Amino acid sequence: MKDMSQMIVEASGVTKVYGSGNTEVVAVSDVSLNVARGEIVALLGPSGAGKSTLLTILGLIRPPDAGRIVIGQTLVFDGHLRVNARTFRREHLGFVFQKANLIPFLTAAENVQLAMEINDASPREARLRTLELLEYLGIMDRADHLPAKLSGGQQQRVAVARALANRPSLILADEPTAALDSVRGRQVMELFRNVAHEQNTGVIVVTHDHRALDVFDHAMEMEDGKLRISQLK
């Protein structure tokens, strides 16, 4: 039994339905899950299982139709959105996607720095934290390069640095290694594990890649919008 005070995500009865009538699709059906601080969780399942939809719900990108979600002791949804989604994302959440989605006209360092300046950090403070993160992720020498001049793996590391910039309590990653080769993919997964363990951050990673499952503390599998398997290592 998990210690609930250490929970970063507590979700219960989360449901999301697209369309209506004959075109109705239940993308997420009555899903309940808990993720603890410092824990890295894999969300597995075939395409169309509802993994990404669940991630967008937990990331307050799309609201669910039903359920209750608490993130870091804050009730964010119980039939209605209880927080300002954009502000909450800015202050508490970090995102990494299959594509790095870096702003193309900003350098690697500026992409990271921007996330902090958006959250009202002073430029000096943001710059120091950026350099610290780039150093931590091993891409300090690429700090002043534009995204177009970075490899896929380097871009993804910058995206991770950006996700970590505001010290989020929860990182949501949607197939972050899909565009990378197996070696670089594993490096990124290990990076997430280190972040979770060293910075006491909850990390949920949607992935198809079963080869790197040993990296995770906890793996869940979704099928037809339902959580089928939930297993602890």
Partner 1 sequence: MNLAIKDIRHNLGRFVLTTFGISLLLMLVIGMGGIYRGLVEEATLLLDRIGADLWVVQKDTRGPFAEISRIPRSVEDRVLAVPGVESASSFISHTIQREYRGRPLRLTIQGLSWPADRGQWLPIFSGRTIGQAHYEMVADKSSDLNVGDRIPLGKNIYTVVGLTYKMSSTSGDSMAFLTLTDAQDVQFDLSNEAIRNEREARVNRLQSLDLGNVQPQLSDIVGGKSSGIPALGTSMVSAVIVHVKPGCNPSSVAAKIASWPDVSVYTHAGQSELLLRGMVDKARRQLGLFRVLLIMVSAVIMALILYTLTLDKLHDIAMLKLMGARNSVILALIMQQALLLGILGFFIANLIGNWLFPLFPRRVVIVQGDLMQLAVIVIAISILASLLGIVKALRVDPSEVLS
Nearer to partner 1, 39 or 110 (CB): 110
Q: How far is the CB of 4 from partner 1 (least distance, A)?
A: 27
Minimum distance of partner 1 from residue 180's CB (angstroms):
18
Q: Which is nearer to partner 1, 95 or 136 (CB)?
A: 95
Cβ neighbours of residue 73 closer than 8 Å, sequence gap 6 or more: none
Q: Which is nearer to partner 1, 37 or 89 (by Cβ)?
A: 89
40-44 and 202-206 strand pairing:
parallel
Least distance CB 62 / partner 1 (angstroms): 6
Question: Among residues 127, 123, 128, 61, which one has the least CA distance to residue 90?
Answer: 61
Give the neighbor-by-neighbor strand order of the sheet with 170-174: 93-96, 170-174, 202-206, 40-44, 218-223, 226-232
Binding site for partner 1 (CB under 8 A): 52, 56, 59, 61-62, 86-91, 95, 97, 101, 103-106, 110, 113-115, 117-119, 123, 146, 162, 174
> Which residue number, 175 or 209, has a Cβ lying nearer to partner 1?
175
